[in-house]
């Protein structure tokens, strides 16, 4: 056991080097200074978890391994601090992570995109551990930063972390989708959780010329970060950037299970075949999956490698639990795949059409997409410029 082999200052130096390697550029001095002024380990619990590279998590326990706990606190990786539905005596006993300390390079990237300046009023959505609010407060001052968190326990813990370092942003326990109207308008709204739709309150509470920076999520793909600028006509408009994969804001998390909610005995699907491989649409290409998320709203997928009906099956369903599709690989040939579809939406037809559209458009990357959001939250996604809305582009 024993003390860490590197001092906290040395660990921060190493972290800054790793962040610069990820960003491909130096960390701006103002944010490097904030990282030095705000010790990340002060915002982590005695037990947290990091990905093990095999789909699971590795525990870092301060009591049993203080060196590993401290060293990992200053690596460029997210640290899970809470799991959903976990019993009090087993914080990792839940099914999914529900709170984390974000990856430092992603935190810095979002701050660079936000460009918070002295005199700006900032609203942070998702206090979490309080680390990001601490960086903002160290940069701008306590009176300029408001942060909101829906979880009472996380709110209390974050407040304790901030108090310990004599940092005093306004910390509120409330639903983040509602913003914080008493402090509006804000020059910047920064979300540390992803959204499937931009809450109208965020648009309404942003000052003209101000920005909203939020990670993006769709039923198909949790990826991308959207930066919007509030316009004089009360709309917000901006582009996506190819980074960011965050937990979805709690008010927009659907609770849909394929076996429990969708599949029923007596359902008679229509059957066909396709030449589009299921791996082409759900094989991990982030550009493909981002496009499908924007153009097939509510559609999500799950792989089943153990079905009796096929060697491997791609399930597709929708968040209303009314439609599903199954695309089967027989384990022998990959030129055609069996398709079954049920419900009012022919989900595979929609996905195949969207995939062919993405291909016909030249396989655009995430950075070519943007969105205009009306004051009521109605979104219009577009490609390259607002004059090319996705629903108006050819769908072959």
What is the three-state SS of the chain?
Answer: CCCCCCCHHHHHHHHHHHHHHHHCCCCCHHHHHHHHHCCHHHHCCCEEEEECCCCCEEEEECCCCHHHHHHHHCCCCCEEEEECCCCCCCCCCCCCEEEEECCHHHHHHHHHHHCCCCCCCEEEECCCCCHHHHHHHHHHCHHHEEEEECCHHHHHHHHHHHHHCCCCCEEEECCHHHCCHHHCCEEEEEECCEECCCCHHHHHCEEEEEEEEEEECCCCCCCCEEEEEECCCCCEEEEEECCCCCCECHHHCCCCCHHHHHCCCCCCCEEEEECCCHHHHHCCCHHHHHHHHHHCCCEEEEEECCCCCCCEEEEEEECCCCCEEEEEECCCCCCCEEEEEECCCCHHHHHHHHHHHHHHCCCCCHHHEEEEECCCCCEEEEECCCCCEHHHCCCC
Task: With beta carbons less than 8 A apart as the criterion, state whether 150 and 174 touch.
Answer: yes
Give me the half-sphere count of Cα atoms (radius 13 Å) on the Cβ side of residue 340: 13
Which residues make up the CATH 3.40.50.150 domain(s) of the chain?
8-241
Task: With beta carbons less than 8 A apart as the criterion, state whether 349 and 336 touch.
Answer: no
Task: With beta carbons less than 8 A apart as the criterion, state whether 382 and 371 touch.
Answer: yes
- Residue 280 in tokens: 């082409």
Strand partners, 48: 60
At residue 160, φ and ψ (nearest 5 deg) are: -65, -45
pLDDT tens digit at each of 396 positions of the chain: 444 578 889 999 999 999 999 999 999 999 999 999 999 999 999 999 998 888 788 999 999 999 999 999 999 999 998 886 654 445 555 557 777 888 999 999 999 999 999 999 999 999 999 999 999 999 999 899 999 999 999 999 999 999 999 999 999 999 999 999 999 999 999 999 999 999 999 999 999 999 999 999 999 999 999 999 999 999 999 999 999 888 888 877 777 888 888 888 889 999 999 999 999 999 999 999 999 999 999 999 999 998 888 999 999 999 999 999 999 999 999 999 999 999 999 999 999 999 999 999 999 999 999 999 999 999 999 999 999 999 988 876
Topology given in CATH for the domain delimited by 258-360 = TATA-Binding Protein (3.30.310)
| Total-model pTM | 0.91
- Nearest 10 degrees: CA dihedral of 86, 92, 94, 98? 90
Q: Which CATH number fits domain 8-241: 3.30.200.20, 1.20.1260.10, 3.40.50.150, 3.40.50.720?
A: 3.40.50.150
If we measure between CA atoms, which residue out of 390, 276, 375 comes closest to residue 325? 276
Catalytic residue among 102, 105, 194, 340: 102
Q: Is position 102 annotated as part of the catalytic site?
A: yes
Please give the Cα distance from 250 to 248 (Å, whole number). Answer: 6
State how beta strands 145-149 and 369-373 pair.
unpaired
Give me the pLDDT at residue 87, please: 47
Which residues make up the CATH 3.30.310 domain(s) of the chain?
258-360
Q: Which residues of 96-128 are buried (b: 16+ CB within 10 A; e: fewer)?
A: ebbbbbbbbbbbbbbbbbbebeeebbbbbbbbb
State how beta strands 122-125 and 186-191 pair.
parallel
Diameter of the chain by CA atoms? 65
């Amino acid at each position: 056991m024993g003390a860490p082999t590197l001092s906290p200052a040395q660990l921060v130096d190493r972290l800054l080097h790793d962040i610069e390697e990820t960003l491909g550029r130096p960390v701006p001095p103002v944010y490097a200074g904030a990282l030095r002024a705000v010790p990340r380990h002060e915002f982590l619990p005695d037990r947290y978890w990091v990905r093990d590279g095999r789909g699971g998590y590795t525990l870092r326990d301060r009591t049993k391994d203080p060196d590993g706990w401290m060293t990992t606190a200053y690596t460029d990786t997210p640290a899970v601090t809470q799991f959903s539905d976990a019993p009090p005596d087993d914080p990792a006993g839940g099914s999914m992570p529900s709170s984390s300390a974000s990856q430092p390079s992603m935190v810095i990237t979002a701050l660079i995109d936000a460009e918070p300046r002295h005199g700006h009023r900032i609203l942070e959505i998702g206090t979490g551990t309080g680390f990001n609010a601490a960086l903002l407060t160290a940069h701008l001052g306590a009176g300029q930063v408001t942060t909101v968190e829906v979880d009472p326990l996380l709110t209390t813990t974050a407040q304790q972390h901030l108090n310990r370092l004599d940092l005093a942003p306004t910390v509120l326990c409330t639903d983040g989708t509602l913003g914080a109207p008493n402090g509006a308008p804000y020059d910047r709204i920064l979300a540390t959780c992803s959204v499937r739709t931009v809450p109208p309150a965020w648009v309404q509470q942003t000052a003209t010329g101000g920005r909203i920076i939020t990670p993006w999520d769709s039923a198909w793909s949790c990826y991308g970060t959207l930066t919007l600028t509030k316009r004089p006509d009360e709309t917000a408009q901006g582009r996506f950037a190819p980074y960011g994969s965050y937990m979805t804001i709690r008010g927009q998390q659907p609770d849909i299970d394929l076996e429990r909610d969708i599949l029923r005995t007596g359902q008679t699907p229509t059957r066909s075949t396709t030449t589009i491989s299921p791996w082409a649409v759900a094989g991990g290409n982030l550009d493909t999956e981002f496009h499908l998320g924007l153009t097939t709203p509510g559609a999500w997928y799950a792989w089943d490698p153990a079905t009796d009906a096929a060697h491997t099956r791609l399930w597709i369903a929708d968040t209303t639990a009314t439609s599903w599709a199954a695309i089967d690989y027989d384990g022998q040939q990959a030129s055609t795949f069996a398709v079954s579809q049920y419900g009012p939406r022919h989900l595979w037809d929609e996905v195949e059409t969207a995939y062919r559209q993405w291909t016909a458009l030249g396989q655009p990357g995430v950075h070519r997409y943007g969105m205009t959001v009306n004051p009521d939250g109605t979104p219009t996604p577009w490609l390259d410029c607002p004059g090319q809305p996705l629903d108006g582009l050819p769908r072959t």
